[in-house]
Amino acid sequence: MATRTSLPPDVQQLAAAHRARQQQIAAQAVAETNRLWGFVETLGWASVAGQMLSTAQSALMEAARGVQGYVGAAVRMWGREPDPFGQVAERTFAATASDGRPLDTLLEQPALEVVELVDQGMTRAQADAIGRRHLQRIVATQVADAARVATGVAMVNDRVVEGYIRHLTLPSCNRCILLSGRWYRYDAGFDRHPLCDCVGIPAAEVVDPPRSPREIYNSLDDEERRKAGWSGHDQRAIEDGADLFRVTNYRRALKTVTIAGRPVKTTLVGTTRRGLAGKRGAKVRMTPEAIYLEADRLNWDREETLRMLKLHGYVV
């Protein structure tokens, strides 16, 4: 496997444009669901639930659209020709939430939260504001996840892709800064937190990190570091010689949206006779990242991983 010390000039720009497109889709979806939220208090959740779901699904579908073309374009920038196993089933990434649960139940959580907060004595206005913020975070996170997970499947699907490089979108949290620039195998899951803006750059070769986390840290001013999660005391400790990674890991741990180990998360969506996974004999439907975890645990080769992605309806 070849190794480079730098990325091809255009690949990082391609990844940034890919992420900017997802951010625009997310912003539009958040604006529309925020508008719909204004009717919840007077009409009730049941009256707007269908429109909420339709808006979110359309955004997720749009976020996943074109991922195979994106990965193929990146491969060509590496001087190689794409070698896809099949066609990424882009529509399937709008069928569920990124953790495998039905999307409608996730979208309903803020409305249920408002009822509970009001029952506990909070004013309706305060509870409504909390619910609104929760909904905005859910929608933005799900759009980003749909793009990331679909892109991940597209990278596994193309046999030329050896892995991906984690690319930072500033401003960012300190844990993401520590992970920035790292090389991951093509079937590695993507650690992320709600509202995470990081993306994976498809790579046909192993690449040394273009910038170290310490270089990124040094490029930030005091206020940017505080927003990332490093307190004044943290910064002083780092300046006095404390290890950047140890200080950061002491302060917090990166939370992920998807499961990071067993038991494996599954979903029943798409497993009926009409669903793509159901037609292929899957009784439960594993999420893509759950498949990657099993691939790592059982030492599957790429062809077996691709077979499982096809079985569960993510590749056709």
Residue 77 backbone phi and psi in degrees, to 5? -70, -20
Boundaries of every domain in the chain:
3-160, 266-311
Coil, helix or strand at residue 166: strand
Nearest-angstrom CA–CA distance, 36 and 50: 10
Q: What is the pLDDT of residue 173?
A: 83
Q: Any long-range contacts for 132-137 (C-beta under 8 Å, 24+ apart)?
A: 132/34, 132/37, 134/109, 134/110, 135/33, 135/34, 135/37, 135/107, 135/110, 136/30, 136/33, 136/34, 137/194, 137/195
**pLDDT tens string 52-66:** 999 999 999 999 999
Q: What is the pLDDT of residue 5?
A: 57
Helix intervals (H) in the chain: 9-37, 40-43, 45-64, 67-77, 103-119, 124-157, 174-179, 213-219, 222-228, 232-239, 244-251, 276-279, 288-298, 302-311
Confidence band for 282, pLDDT divided at 50, 70 and 90? low
Angstrom CA distances, 298 to 93, 167, 307, stand at 25, 28, 14
Question: What is the value of pTM for the model shown?
Answer: 0.75
